[in-house]
Amino acid sequence: MTQSSDVDQVLLPTPRVRGRRPSVWRGFFGNKKAALGFGIFMVFVLMAVFAPVLAPYNPQATQFIPFQGPSWHHWFGTTATGQDVLSQLIVGSRVSLGIGISAGIMATSLAIVLGMLPAYLGGRTDTLFNTMTNIMLVIPGLPLLIVITAYIHQTETWTLALVMGLTGWAWGARVLRSQTLTYVRRDFVVAARLAGASHWHILIHEILPNMLSLVIANLMFGTLGAVLAAASLQFLGLGNPNSISWGTMLFWAQIGQALLNGAWWWLVAPGAAIALFGASMALMNFGVDELTNPRLRQARRASKQFGKPHQGRPNN
């Protein structure tokens, strides 16, 4: 009785049609931080793709006067052996971005499988995988990578990417798992299961699309982490020092005592490239965060446009 006198229920004989949400992409580019991050990211991608055309000199050629400061001919100066830093930076973006992005994709794919599937299946499988994920999370990643690459000895680029992909999935798996758990009992998933849809169908078509923003965030964090870790390993001389990447540039700069010779440009250029690329990932991720979590962005409008003293935030 009491239920049927509920105003909401008697008033909804026809289904309510919700307006489609504004396109995610429009929202993404409407967000200043995300757009800036995407802009920087695209500059790097284009740089990597067109590296051979863009690089002014052969990055390996040792034909210039060593330790030249930035000039019109050498925007970012030259190295101890007379190589052009800008050319190395441009060509090096291929390996650095390649490792970062492929390790990011690999780690994210693993995170999707190892995070979602056990959570969906539940029971002991879930307990087991969850424990495994948590262990992987707490074991310090960079020292582990150092140990592994030290055994491998002068790790080739793709091995490096592989190792980082295989060790970098835990964070994502954990986040995706907890999100999956909240979906498993939802009506649309239960309905799909009752309708006889297969597990894979449900996971891929019903649950995954709802977690797209998490997957994207994970991809960006994974890539950022991999770029930083790869640079660290290469800086320590654990990569292949003969390949050209931002990390090996830093390695050679350190070996060539760039700072003691006052050649700050040799160090600043690759480091700044890593930081800038990483920042583009972080900015895009921040944008996605603001998009998917309305609370993070709400106050802004209110305080800007309708800034009466009593709105916006509590008691102040």
Pick out residues in 239-258 that bind another protein (CB under 8 A): 250, 254
Q: How far is the CB of 66 from another protein (least distance, A)?
A: 18
Residue 165 makes CB contacts below 8 A (sequence gap 6+) with 102, 103, 104, 105, 106, 107, 110, 226
User: For residue 249, which of 224, 274, 229 has the smallest C-alpha distance?
Assistant: 274
Pick out residues in 98-137 that bind another protein (CB under 8 A): 131, 134-135, 137
Q: How far is the CB of 195 from another protein (least distance, A)?
A: 28
* CB neighbour class for 124 (10 Å; exposed up to 12, middle 13-18, buried from 19): exposed
User: For residue 281, which of 219, 229, 230 has the smallest C-alpha distance?
Assistant: 219
Pick out residues in 142-181 that bind another protein (CB under 8 A): 142-144, 146-148, 150-153, 171, 174
Q: Do 31 and 37 form a contact (C-beta atoms < 8 A)?
A: no
Round to whole Å and give the CA distance between 139 and 142. Answer: 9
User: For residue 84, which of 50, 57, 51 has the smallest C-alpha distance?
Assistant: 57
7 vs 194 by CB, closer to another protein = 7
Pick out residues in 39-58 that bind another protein (CB under 8 A): none
Pick out residues in 182-241 that bind another protein (CB under 8 A): 224-225, 228-229, 231-232, 235-238
Q: Is 299 one of the binding residues for another protein (CB under 8 A)?
A: yes
80 vs 146 by CB, closer to another protein = 146
- Interface residue with another protein, options 11, 53, 65, 194 (CB under 8 A): 11
- Interface residue with another protein, options 141, 184, 208, 216 (CB under 8 A): 141
Binding segment toward another protein, per CB under 8 A, in 1-9, 157-165, 184-192, 198-206: 1-9
55 vs 228 by CB, closer to another protein = 228
Binding segment toward another protein, per CB under 8 A, in 58-66, 108-116, 155-163, 290-298: 290-298
* CA-angle at 299, arms to 295 and 301, nearest 5°: 120
Q: How far is the CB of 266 from another protein (least distance, A)?
A: 11
Pick out residues in 269-288 that bind another protein (CB under 8 A): 271, 274-279, 281-283, 286
CA-CA distances (angstroms) from residue 3 to 13, 14, 15? 15, 18, 19
193 vs 271 by CB, closer to another protein = 271
DSSP letter at 94 equals H
For 300, the token pair is 């802004």
Q: Do 67 and 80 form a contact (C-beta atoms < 8 A)?
A: yes
